Structure 1
Amino acid sequence: MKLKGLSALAGVLLLTTVMSACGNSNNNEGSTATNNSSTTTDTTTNTAATNDTSTNEAATNEPAAPAANDKEFTIRVGAWFLDDRPHMVAFKKAVEEGYAKLYPKATIQWDVVLGATYFDKLKAQFASGSAPDVVFYQGVDFAKSGNLLDLSAEPWVPRLNDGGQKDFQTHADGKTFGVPMGLSIGGGVWYNKKIFSDLSITPPKTTQELFDAAEKIKGAGKTPITLGFKDQWTAQLFFTNWMSSYQLSDPTLGKKIYNGEVKINEDPTIQKVYSNFETMKSKGYFNKNAISIDWPQSGQMFASGEAAMIVQGPWMPGANADNISKGGFEPFDIGYFPLANDEGKVAMGLGSNEALGINAKTELLQESKDLINLMTTQDIISPFMKGDGALTSFTDVTVKYDDPAMDAVQEAVANSTVVTSNITSYIPASATTNMLDLLTKVVSGIKFNPDDLKAAQSSFEKDKATVTPPAE
């Protein structure tokens, strides 16, 4: 694994992708939140003090805290993704049981607001001094704003592996502010192994090989790649994954755009990626309803065997298994390969989906530290990572996956240049929106014209002051 650009993972890869994608727990086993159209839910569970701890099997290495501490208190944990998926339910139970061993009279209150609304609420809570004691979060801004406690001296910090130590969400200004609860890829191509085998197709290693595979699949009467671009984050995920690999030809492209050395509408690398999408659309490699269906519907197309490939995040194996089961479709093995550039070079985004920190103003300082330390133990965090489809962020935590596709993910990461920033890290959200609007038009059949990127450049120039570029 070659590490490059270890500064700030593009919001497209993690923050937007994971926060928005993850909706619909009925369709996404490995997801972490809901899309913006989902309802907001507050879920409170008070169980830590009442669980029968004699059956606890969590946390082989319990955090240092007084045994049988008689202190009675309620500790609040904020999150946006702790829903009714089995591995999330098991995670909460394991935490509650392990914590009850340390603090028998404590109560864990899970303050859960599913979806993007959580982050707006969390910001308001920090501003008003009412934030939970322990918070799951996304984005390094929470740490840089002074809301989170410096955890650099905590016992779990030396256990972080290379990726965990350089995770952008949990580290800032040389300090550690949170636990990276596993490292996830920004996405890639998941494929139906049976369809590929029947057509004698091997996983593509260049853009042309991807086109060739799509042509074979189309010829067999299947949809090569299903898109759910009604959910714009799926367009972000696809574009950014491909763009990252092409950007290897000029790793400083984002910085050049930010410094005014290159204009978005004039860069040939950006134009190349749009041209790729235009080619795939013109050749009929996408589903005809690509811009009118959402992520769950595209997932159903893939699970039914109607489509051979789908570009999605690390939750796809679990989501696909769930879709097959609920839809009554014929089971098939799923495979994975990353999006490469013309030369077969690959860049992959890697970072934490969920970061875990402590409210800097908590009155339960040691109790919060003990809770976080508990969550980092093998028996608790490993199943969490497995359910998330995440790679381990600790040197002493192993993850055993049920789906062999995850082995392909790990191999791809090992053989790729891992990046944690790209051009979207250097441009404002308004410019990104302009670029994605154009991508949607191209996928709808409108011919790509580089001049149409002038809107993105104008937005960049107008809103540049809102951008905090990645640290060098």
Structure 2
Amino acid sequence: MTRTSTPRRPARRVLAFAVALALTPLTACSAGSLGSSSDSSGDGTTITWLTGADETAQATAKSIVAAFEKANPGITVKLDGKPAGGDGDNLVKTRLQTGSMADVFDYNSGSLFQQIAPEKNLTKLTGDDAVAKVDDSYDAQVSVGQDMYGVPYGTAFGGGVMYNKKVFEQLGIQVPQTWAEFTAAADKIKAAGIAPVIQTYGETWTAQLPILGDFHNIAAAEPDWAEDYTANKAKDATDPVALAGFQHLQEIHDKGWANADFASAKVPDGMRLLADGKGAMYPILSGNITTLAQAAPDKVNDVGFFALPGTDAATNGLTAWFPNGVYIPNTTKDAKLEASKKLLAFIASPAGCDAQSQASPPTGPYLVEGCTLPSDVPQVTKDVQAYFDADKQSPALEFLSPVKGPNLEQICVEVGSGITPATDAAKLYDQDVQKQAQQLGLEGW
């Protein structure tokens, strides 16, 4: 994927609300059973919700629908399925453009949300009961100016480092808050015969995390960086703070910190190394705790999570990815509009959060007032929650800028494999970004 997009792996989705396998769209079902979409259900109202067609997305939506219909017996919700990735994006945009969108649909938040022309296509929810319990940190991800259009669906997650707590305890290592502390820890771990930093280039998207997860440090040092980046006034290759992520990736290779099989290892392999204490630190998205749970279910709580450190411990914090949003197109009218708003209000409520948790264990915090995590969530999830509780997080770049380049993961693999130096890689990515920005017709490019 890209510097400004959530890294993807084939047929995966890190959160309960996510999309995975690309299945045939338009499979309709209501709270778990197949059926066709109609305008009414007895004397009540029927609305349709377009969501992911994969098993996880459907299971989560069905759990919500079952609880919602029980609380709102006059409303029936039918589910439509959409494919993952670009096909799903195209389906959403086509339906909005043709006025054929379902009454409710879920889609990206952040910069990708801006690409579906919210002012033209969506129903404003500012001040409505539907958004009353949404956490302030999420507002900007589904807003244009002062107008808010959606509610969070699923949980937030972070880009940082999963680490083996037992290895840290045995070696007397504290969680690093600066890169200097990180390097000292890595050297100590290597001296103990353990791979300090796990890399899994068998799934190339994972190579990006030392860069993607470093954005909080860029934003802390240069608050206007995302805006300047979008305007072609800031570059990775010429800004020392932005270049640091590329340099850290090179350092991992040059100091021999990576596991021996880094070139072919995949995420489950990395998780097993981490769980077994054969690797100590794994730069990864926190949502991949689900993979850890599958690879080593008895060792999930041996693993914690910390944000990628920068130069200043005082500003250390998490680069956060925010949940998708649920939206109402402006073609939804009258009784269906009122029913749709009730569904959104339910999703963004403690009852809605509980319904999601029942379908799939949360991998991060719900950004809804009154929602709490189950007591038995993994330590990684608790650690991510702590950054939100302390307000020590900032959005990943993809939520602040539409500027993208498609080749970041390949460039990162080359840096992490010792093929391309960090400075050259940053220049290559700046060129990659320029092509994409020009295709988008952005000013200044």
**Range class of TM-score, shorter chain:** 0.7 to 0.9
Task: State the alpha-carbon separation in 2 of the partners of residues 462 and 29 from structure 1.
Answer: 31
Q: 1:335 aligns with which of 276, 297, 304?
A: 304
Partner of 1:140, secondary structure, is helix
Distance in 2 (CA, whole Å) between partners of 1:341 and 1:124 is 42
Change in CA separation of 1:347 and 1:173 when aligned onto 2, cut-off 3 Å: same
Report the count of equivalent residues.
428
Residue 166 of structure 2 corresponds to residue 194 of structure 1: yes
Q: Secondary structure at the match of 1:315?
A: helix
TM superposition score normalised by structure 2: 0.81
What's 1:410 paired with?
385
Which amino acid in the other structure matches residue 348 of structure 1?
A: L
Aligned CA distance change for structure 1 residues 421 and 190 (closer, same or farther; 3 Å): closer
Partner secondary structure for residue 202 of structure 1: coil
In 2 relative to 1, CA 420–224 (structure 1 residues): closer, same or farther, beyond 3 Å?
same
Write the distance in 2 (CA, Å) between the matches of 1:423 and 1:232: 19
CA shift digits 1:364-390 (9 cap, x unpaired)? 322222222232331222452683323
Once the two structures are TM-superposed, the CA of residue 401 in structure 1 deviates from its matched residue by 4.1
Distance 1:101 1:427 in 2: 39
Q: How far apart, CA to CA, are the structure 2 residues paired with 1:148 and 1:406?
A: 32
In the alignment, what sits opposite 2:37?
none
Amino acid at match of 1:442: V
1:56 equivalent in structure 2: none
In structure 1, give the amino acid aligned to 2:212.
T
The worse-fitting range, judged by mean Cα deviation, of 266-275 and 459-468 is 459-468
**RMSD, aligned α-carbons:** 3.6
User: 336-345 vs 294-303, which deviates more?
Assistant: 294-303
Q: Which ranges in structure 2 are unaligned for 5 or more consecutive residues?
A: 35-39
Shift of 1:136: 0.7
Q: What's the offset of the Cα at 1:135?
A: 0.5
The residue that corresponds to 1:3 in the other structure is none
Aligned counterparts, 1:132-171, within 5 A: 132-138=102-108, 139-141=112-114, 142=116, 144=118, 146-164=120-138, 166-168=139-141, 170-171=142-143
Distance in 2 between the 1:378 and 1:50 partners? Answer: 25
1:429 aligns with 2:415: no
The answer to whether the 8 A contact 2:178-2:316 is kept is no
Q: Could you tell me which of 372, 385, 390 is aligned with 1:398?
A: 372
Give the alignment partner of residue 210 of structure 2, picking from 227, 231, 238: 238
Q: SS in structure 1 opposite 2:412?
A: helix
The CA deviation at 1:103 is 4.1
Structure 2 partner of 1:215: 187
- Residue by residue, what CA displacement relative to the aligned partner does 1:316-336 show, whole Å, maximum 9, x if unpaired? 3343222213xxx65652211
The answer to whether the aligner puts 1:130 opposite 2:105 as a matched pair is no
Measure the CA separation in 1 of the matches of 2:195 and 2:17.
Answer: 25
Segment drifting more, 419-428 vs 408-417: 419-428
**Structure 1 residues 411 and 330: alpha-carbon distance in aligned structure 2, compared to 1, 3 A threshold:** closer
Shift of the alpha carbon at 1:210?
1.4
Whether the 8 Å contact between 2:237 and 2:430 is mirrored in structure 1 is yes
Gaps of 5+ in 1: 1-9, 52-67
Q: Distance in 1 between matches of 2:303 and 2:125?
A: 39
CA deviation map 1:217-275 (0-9, x unaligned): 22333322222334443233331212431453223334444445444432222333222
Q: TM-score, normalised by structure 1?
A: 0.77
Post-superposition offset of 1:204: 1.4
**CA shift at 1:337, angstroms?**
1.0
What's the offset of the Cα at 1:299?
3.2
Corresponding residue number in structure 2 for 1:32: 18
Amino acid in structure 2 at the alignment position of 1:240:
L
- What do residues 14-57 of structure 1 show as CA deviations (whole Å, max 9, x unaligned)? x523xx258447xx6757233xxx54355846345999xxxxxx
Separation (CA, whole Å) in 2 of partners of 1:404 and 1:180: 23
Q: 2:281 aligns with which of 301, 309, 322?
A: 309
Q: How far apart in 2 are the matches of 1:116 and 1:151? A: 27
Offset, 1:281:
0.7
Tell me which residue corresponds to 2:344.
Answer: 372
Residue deviations 1:363-422 (CA, integer Å, cap 9, x gap): 532222222223233122245268332323222333334224433223334456432364
| 396, 417, 427: which one aligns with 1:444 | 417
CA contact (8 A) 1:30 1:314 kept: no
Q: Which residue identity is paired with 1:237?
A: L
